[in-house]
Amino acid sequence: MLPLIGRRLGMMLLIMLVSSFILYLLFEFDKDRVVIQAIGPYTSAEQRQAWLEQNGYNEPFLERYVAWVGRALTGDFGTSIQFNRPVVEIILPSLLNTAILALWVFSLTVLISLTLGVLSGIAEGSVMDRSISFISVLTTSVPEFASATFLLAIFVFWLGWLPGTSSGPGSLFRKELILPVAVLVIFNFGYYTRMMRASMAEVMNSQYVRTAVLKGMPFRRVVMKHALRNALIAPFTVMVLQINYLLSGVIVTEVIFAYDGFGRRLYEAAQFNDVFIVEACTMTAVALAVTTQFISEIGYMFLNPRIRLT
């Protein structure tokens, strides 16, 4: 098992290294464009040359890349063009806010989708199964911006129960989180419910489950002790990979609700051409993607020891 984990860790590092090189090549190969974005297009040639010399851009490209990687490993992604502050000071609070949002969304999505998926899978073909399937398909078909607009119209403009923006400081318990969390849960739970339902229905039709039922074992025990673990194998992998989406793919929701999170910060940096924040956000997203992939593969192996990673 240890050699398998070692190979996976090596693959993670290789992916991050290749991604960082492509990123640096795209954004910083043309140093003249970088200096214009950093200090403005109306500066003199002498000012630009002074900035390039001060920041090491007159060195060969590969030397600049290696130095950039070294600084990035220590959390130094330079100074934000938009805010004139270290990038890490801008990114960390936004990342924490999105982590709070992701924690709520992930917890509620897993709870709802597992519960509904199991209920639907053990009663395949019933009215309950069809009702859950219909709701799952319906909610998954509605994009985030549409459900966000719908919830805003009801709970903010009509009833006046909830605030329409969530730009305050991060906290686990505040009502400003309700609408963003609701939008993301509504959009995500249906897909995982359908996956859990299909997996559970397949396991319930297997020979060992039928044998256990015929031998008189209590149905609840059959479901919880024997069927559920095997049914979790496929959904577990996808649910863990959802963490990456929740931290870097919720741009639409964060922008609509003015939520000061990671996705909104990346969106605003791209609009402002803040190269250094975009680089930091991209590398953070890549690191998170390979980490969640690694966790899902290791967890997949633990859930099903017959599977060996290659």
Per-residue pLDDT reduced to its tens digit, 30-62: 888 888 877 777 778 888 888 888 888 888 888
* Angstrom distance (rounded) from CA 283 to CA 266: 12
pLDDT digits (tens, 9 = 90+) for 129-144: 888 888 888 888 888 8
* Residue 171, pLDDT score: 59
* Angstrom distance (rounded) from CA 269 to CA 82: 8
pLDDT, block means (10 residues), the chain with 310 residues: 68 85 87 80 83 84 89 86 86 88 89 87 82 88 86 86 68 76 88 85 76 74 73 75 76 85 87 87 86 75 58
pTM score of the predicted model: 0.80
* Residue 5, pLDDT score: 66
Tell whether domain 87-272 is in CATH 1.10.3720.10.
Answer: yes
- CA nearest to 293, candidates 70, 2, 14: 14
* Residue 310, pLDDT score: 47
* Residue 176, pLDDT score: 79
Mapped onto helix, strand or coil, the DSSP state of residue 215 is: coil
The residues pairing with 86 across neighbouring beta strands, listed in sequence order, are: 79
Mapped onto helix, strand or coil, the DSSP state of residue 44 is: coil
CATH 1.10.3720.10 domain extents, the chain:
87-272
* Angstrom distance (rounded) from CA 166 to CA 211: 53
Quick count: other Cβ atoms within 10 Å of Cβ 210? 12
* Angstrom distance (rounded) from CA 155 to CA 151: 6
* Residue 195, pLDDT score: 84
* Residue 309, pLDDT score: 46
* Angstrom distance (rounded) from CA 256 to CA 149: 9
